[in-house]
Structure 1
């Protein structure tokens, strides 16, 4: 049997403990046997091993090989350039992994540093790490629960478990055993490590410590969840392999043909290596990393902080967003929305959260609450039957110290201009009978010097039989069956709207009340009002959900809250529709794998779930090939955040654990910021595709230049150092300029990319081939003209070919801004960074040709004015060609 299913005596017997606590000797023995009450972590990789792992990716290994070959050939400048890129890429990856290891440190911080424990019959404070199973601990308001415990004494004890279960309400604890199997959030006689006592006091026996606690199970799941490569990483890895295989085949073919024709083996090896360098975009990993980093900077301005660079792109391809309810879709601030008064009137209250801003409305008309006698009494009773405090910080943000439900009453009163502090000048507090699970009500007693008042609030069904009167406009009147029916009907109506309903009543007499005779105190009550409240949705979430659906993203809710409340919120937000299903954690456990798989697309709300359920849901969606983003703020969300393709944590209300486990943190806790992040993620993928388009089409041009020259027996048009200069330097800056391309206006009107869709599509391959071949034709055309028509020297012809290639590629970069839209339609000057980068590269090429010291390194000669006419005329042709193609395509579509 579980601990919560056993009686107190049975629990103590099984733990070999007593109500007087363990002896110091017994506690020490158990500590040595079972270990300290700490959350342990998986064995860490050494920093050296972690750094070395950054260089095991296939494309990185190929680059290292290229650097070695370049060094062997004496091209030390080229070799160092390649290795610099490789090391930079490794350092960035290493830093990201170091940050991820903070997850377990954050979990440890949740452990209480000390505990009040009963040892040898006396109470003392000991380090929480010294607690063992069987220890008896004392609990009071404000205490962190230091281990998993079974409650054995409760004096109105309430525990806030939102961080573990997602339940926004503080849970009242009892000592009674539970008969059935119940989920974590409903175990009212248990309290768990990492939660907090917010009301009352009590005692408990420790039943689990360290990794055996529920928090420990979460820690273990975090260790066991294996981080998979993101879709972007997978596509880049596949892409790198494809390039290498293709380059290897072509290089081997050219080498074999040359040797067969009688060319020197060393010369042909030089040609093959040059071709390999041309085929592989050495700067791609670094450029993609920088593209992602620039995207991260833009996303910070939109309240999204990215912790793991590749996750930026992943978010843009998300098809599912699984969101917690409390504090993520909702404000985590209980708010009164409706009031049913004793005179039969029903009122609405505007405003959300704890900020005392709102109106009281009857139908469509605003009313003055202080001029309505019954409403005024309801507000006074709500303020006086209350032990919470409403606080306002320096920034004007309101918060509640105490129970969130009582905070809602404080806000309600202040909306009407009433404050508890002012009422206490008129009413003297005499005592309180706190809420408990048996009575399901709370009573406070006051006097104004003439009368004694008992103000009572609690569960409507429990209080209904206690009424002997009802407050009408003319004053208290005897309650009738019609009154009771009206109250019951209003209660049902509020409950069906997923409102949490509380009744407010009072009793007034000349004689003092006896607080020790609770049942006599809480009778002969006069009903004042029913109050319906809810943790309201964030206003901006409505539009965010709608935008997500337009973008082809399905939002689902996963929460520890009750089904009725979850469904009501989900339906209001547009997450839940006719034909959708809502299931609880227990129902999910009862489902077979096949049934769950069939029903998965219909289930939009998961209620009363625990961390294992969240992981199950995330894994199920991923098994269907979907890319899932998981949002959350509590500790309970951390494993699912890590398992999801991208985990999104709340920056304000989120725990450190959640933030550390997440790929992205919303700095404003605003679900709407996710839409902006998705938009930015899609834009970043488009920019990565633009960069790849540019780099590969340029490299294809270089391949064809060398391939055709080798097959026709011409001298090499490009030297290795020139090829590396083109790939590592002149291509790099324009690629970064493309990374600054603004996000397309219609990016959120597209459906998410298929998971199998690569960066390079079949259509893009054909476009790159055509463009690359045309660049090669322009380059070889000028080379042939110089070499055979003008009979220039080989070095002059190579200088012309080298310069035409660089200029061709720089004009071609404008083609890559859009595969199908004219650069003039996009706006020639709309990307200033790109224009600046092209200007810098063209200027650098001029310096390279005309500075004597550089001429020797790059093996070039100065060019004449006539030469420049030929260079510019040839170099602009790829841009002219693509503009003609785009114009024809646009015209054919209009026709």
Structure 2
């Protein structure tokens, strides 16, 4: 069995890669390998040309239905209607094309993570070359601030630490070694002698040999997964596609029945053909896709105000029916900014508050705020606390800078040192007041760092590092305001304190000092003895404000939150418990344990797992796929490159706007601009509200269309003349299916939506009684219109008057019905009329347009209507009111039965 790179010795590496580990590759050999293997770039799959991508939008089923409606409209001679439908088709196709084109840029964004330059050794000489020219076998040099250009096996390290959070999700920089590792099975985060392309060196320097470039790197493998994963249809798209098929079937049946029956009665063939085709056009709510798009677009505008940017319109509705949110820990649930939350001094814990690297916050002891720079009786040892903070501030190489545009603090250097720097600045200490004379740097072997400083004419040695090491090198301890001999009693108490802090998943760092009496201004390891142990600090990646409440609200809404992280299980469990995410019987599963499970075993256990820890990008993808196979609607949030494939695979991918990489944003359907998990809850609520509004105008459109169909069909069955002419049917579609339906799309979100469980993924669009309500309302409108037409004829009215009455009854019945569609849970009498002014305006405009059709001479000639007397208008409005009463009665009966069965 071949050995992995991390298992090999330098000699084995040199033999395997045919290179010299001291002088590097010959220039000619490097050129040969570059020509053979290709440039060190991320490649994309062959993409469709923009034109082909655009024309694929016309393969959508509803688009084909609309194009059929265009053909029918042309056959009727209704060119204006045909042009309107074509405009709708092209608008939707252009929107879809733009979204698809932007999504294809995700792999191009991956390329930007490659380092622009690399430092290599070739033929014994150091060279700076474009990172794209690095080949396998190259000797690569890295140091603090460098982005790693390829996957490297380390040969030499000096205090080397690397931020691997974009790949692994681990928030703390990883110390590196050059020693071979024995285990044949290691996760990315455990390969301590490897560097990976796209990660950043935070401390120290090193030399490594390139073992993988381009698409063969770990970053390249992610790019490959991202290219292969295909986005499926959203629940809304699936439902609309199903609805379109039903409507086409209805159209065919109606055309055949009306045509056959009419011809059998001896009606004029041309009139029957035009009437049947007009009904077919009426049966297809051609404005439905446009209205869905408008409703989603308006929802997007509202969500921008709530720090959410939607990149793909159907994503709003999809998130609204999500059943699981898979969230990355680092940078999503937590801030990805290390912060000191606890100081331990003289047997006492001091709580520290704040927000990440921001140098603002408070110090609290026993619930009371204390000020470290002020001598006060509130705390027994204020001078000891100042020395503890000074040790962390001076023994430090990090820098913090406030970015004016974003109001965010940017760290340069090691995150742990950034936390200590922010701690000292919170207290009001000033690092500029001291002069640094010498430094012993931190290394993974030494596990400590020391500096010699001069302050106000006095010299001090400050040391920070692992607590056990500093205890070994200390002879005294600061205790209750005095320096006393460090004995076993103190050590035992310190170990108990460390165990307590470790259970809270705090990273513990100890601080010590001693006065400097020597004449020299240099340091050696022998000087790091005889120290005075000052105390310890507990550092963690704090959770984001509001996340705990957001997770609780998700639970109320029936949405399960799963944490997926590359961090260690102990840390992940502590964060999960702090957030209330980990259930009492919930499981924590590691990536190694996940690998041992078969797909069937994973599907069986995944409902019990609340936290996946120590996982890699492939695991995240596997988890999302397993959840989808279980019928879940999955939302995946994240910010790092490692999240991108799972984000694209999920039903809806959510990227963080501030900390998220370009890769993640481009692969996502939604971006949270404030990086706040709570904003996702706002998106869930908005998505549920938008889907509810879509159901409302589907209820309205189809109820109206069924009313038109039954009006004509019932007249055929009763052997009555046609109550409507083809031109009048098309006008009804225009005046009732447009503005009122759009206005329903901006209906305010109903209360209690976030207390309801998510819609079942298999739920049809006509579920929960919607189909029943549509059918009853359509039958009611059709029967009332037919009754008005029949009554007018029987009472001696002329055919033009009877048709005008039925024409107006149908229009005003539909305009009245729209108010009954405003809510699926509340009766009309309990809804405030003025909460949707858009609907009032839309109904008023449509009503005025209908009045114009029967009052203006030119319009009367065009639509073959006549002016109606007051008595006829009374009958028309009586029929319209009857439609509303019927709709409300149906809704009341439905609610009554539902409550009785509940």
> TM-score range, shorter-chain basis?
over 0.9
Report 1:671-710 matches (<5 A).
671-710=677-716
Give the drift of 1:345: 2.5
Give the drift of 1:672: 0.6
User: For residues 645 and 723 of structure 2, what CA distance do their matches in structure 1 show?
Assistant: 56
Cα distance change on mapping 1:627 and 1:884 into 2, 3 Å: closer
Task: Check conservation: 1:164, 1:636, Cα contact below 8 A.
Answer: yes
Give the drift of 1:363: 2.2
User: For residues 873 and 619 of structure 1, what CA distance do their matches in structure 2 show?
Assistant: 56
Deviates more, 1:172-181 or 1:810-819: 172-181
User: For residues 484 and 843 of structure 2, what CA distance do their matches in structure 1 show?
Assistant: 86
Deviates more, 1:237-246 or 1:465-474: 465-474
User: For residues 571 and 579 of structure 1, what CA distance do their matches in structure 2 show?
Assistant: 12
Give the drift of 1:888: 7.2
Give the drift of 1:208: 1.1
User: For residues 448 and 817 of structure 1, what CA distance do their matches in structure 2 show?
Assistant: 73
User: For residues 564 and 77 of structure 1, what CA distance do their matches in structure 2 show?
Assistant: 67
Instruction: State the Cα deviation string for residues 403-444 of structure 1 (Å, max 9, x = none).
Output: 11111111221222212223x1xxx31222222121211222
Task: Indicate whether 1:717 and 2:719 are aligned.
Answer: no
Cα distance change on mapping 1:516 and 1:358 into 2, 3 Å: closer
Instruction: State the Cα deviation string for residues 445-476 of structure 1 (Å, max 9, x = none).
Output: 22448664332111223333222221234543
Task: Indicate whether 1:383 and 2:393 are aligned.
Answer: yes
Q: Secondary structure at the match of 1:199?
A: strand
Give the drift of 1:891: 8.6
Q: Secondary structure at the match of 2:58?
A: coil
Give the drift of 1:890: 7.5
Given candidates 388, 400, 403, the residue that maps to 1:393 is 403
Give the drift of 1:737: 0.7
User: For residues 479 and 275 of structure 1, what CA distance do their matches in structure 2 show?
Assistant: 95
Instruction: State the Cα deviation string for residues 753-796 of structure 1 (Å, max 9, x = none).
Output: 11111221262212111111111122112222333432413x44
User: For residues 656 and 885 of structure 1, what CA distance do their matches in structure 2 show?
Assistant: 51
Q: Counterpart of 1:765?
A: 771
Give the drift of 1:261: 4.0
Give the drift of 1:807: 1.1
Cα distance change on mapping 1:577 and 1:512 into 2, 3 Å: farther
Q: Secondary structure at the match of 2:182?
A: coil
Q: Secondary structure at the match of 1:54?
A: helix
Given candidates 546, 555, 566, the residue that maps to 1:560 is 566
Report 1:701-850 matches (<5 A).
701-761=707-767, 763-793=769-799, 795-850=800-855
Task: Check conservation: 2:776, 2:890, Cα contact below 8 A.
Answer: no
Deviates more, 1:28-37 or 1:763-772: 763-772
Unaligned runs of 5+ in 1: none
Cα distance change on mapping 1:236 and 1:886 into 2, 3 Å: closer
Give the drift of 1:265: 4.4
Give the drift of 1:364: 2.9
Give the drift of 1:107: 0.9
User: For residues 819 and 491 of structure 1, what CA distance do their matches in structure 2 show?
Assistant: 57
User: For residues 294 and 221 of structure 1, what CA distance do their matches in structure 2 show?
Assistant: 34
Give the drift of 1:887: 6.2
Task: Check conservation: 2:473, 2:530, Cα contact below 8 A.
Answer: yes
Q: Counterpart of 1:455?
A: 462
Task: Indicate whether 1:92 and 2:95 are aligned.
Answer: yes
Q: Counterpart of 1:227?
A: 231
User: For residues 797 and 88 of structure 2, what CA distance do their matches in structure 1 show?
Assistant: 40
Q: Counterpart of 1:586?
A: 592
User: For residues 559 and 260 of structure 2, what CA distance do their matches in structure 1 show?
Assistant: 52
Q: TM-score, normalised by structure 1?
A: 0.96
Cα distance change on mapping 1:110 and 1:857 into 2, 3 Å: farther
Task: Check conservation: 1:459, 1:503, Cα contact below 8 A.
Answer: yes
Cα distance change on mapping 1:449 and 1:650 into 2, 3 Å: closer
Report 1:419-430 matches (<5 A).
419-422=430-433, 424=434, 428-430=435-437
User: For residues 644 and 825 of structure 2, what CA distance do their matches in structure 1 show?
Assistant: 43
Cα distance change on mapping 1:335 and 1:474 into 2, 3 Å: closer
Q: Secondary structure at the match of 2:748?
A: coil
Q: Counterpart of 2:378?
A: none
Cα distance change on mapping 1:160 and 1:894 into 2, 3 Å: closer
Instruction: State the Cα deviation string for residues 65-92 of structure 1 (Å, max 9, x = none).
Output: 1211221232322322222222222122
Cα distance change on mapping 1:857 and 1:128 into 2, 3 Å: farther
User: For residues 842 and 358 of structure 2, what CA distance do their matches in structure 1 show?
Assistant: 51
Give the drift of 1:366: 3.2
Task: Indicate whether 1:871 and 2:876 are aligned.
Answer: yes
Task: Check conservation: 1:157, 1:202, Cα contact below 8 A.
Answer: yes
Given candidates 235, 243, 246, the residue that maps to 1:242 is 246
Task: Check conservation: 2:340, 2:352, Cα contact below 8 A.
Answer: yes
Given candidates 199, 202, 216, the residue that maps to 1:198 is 202
Deviates more, 1:780-789 or 1:624-633: 780-789
Q: Secondary structure at the match of 1:813?
A: helix
User: For residues 168 and 420 of structure 2, what CA distance do their matches in structure 1 show?
Assistant: 25
Report 1:134-173 matches (<5 A).
134-173=137-176
Instruction: State the superposition RMSD in angstroms.
Output: 2.1
Task: Check conservation: 1:444, 1:454, Cα contact below 8 A.
Answer: yes
Q: Counterpart of 2:860?
A: 855
User: For residues 78 and 369 of structure 2, what CA distance do their matches in structure 1 show?
Assistant: 82
Q: Counterpart of 1:443?
A: 450
Task: Indicate whether 1:509 and 2:516 are aligned.
Answer: yes
User: For residues 890 and 142 of structure 1, what CA distance do their matches in structure 2 show?
Assistant: 64
Q: TM-score, normalised by structure 2?
A: 0.95
User: For residues 490 and 539 of structure 1, what CA distance do their matches in structure 2 show?
Assistant: 27
Q: Secondary structure at the match of 2:207?
A: strand
Instruction: State the Cα deviation string for residues 20-47 of structure 1 (Å, max 9, x = none).
Output: 1222211111111001111111111122
Deviates more, 1:568-577 or 1:851-860: 851-860
Give the drift of 1:886: 5.4
Give the drift of 1:593: 2.6
* Matched residue count: 888
Task: Check conservation: 1:337, 1:350, Cα contact below 8 A.
Answer: yes
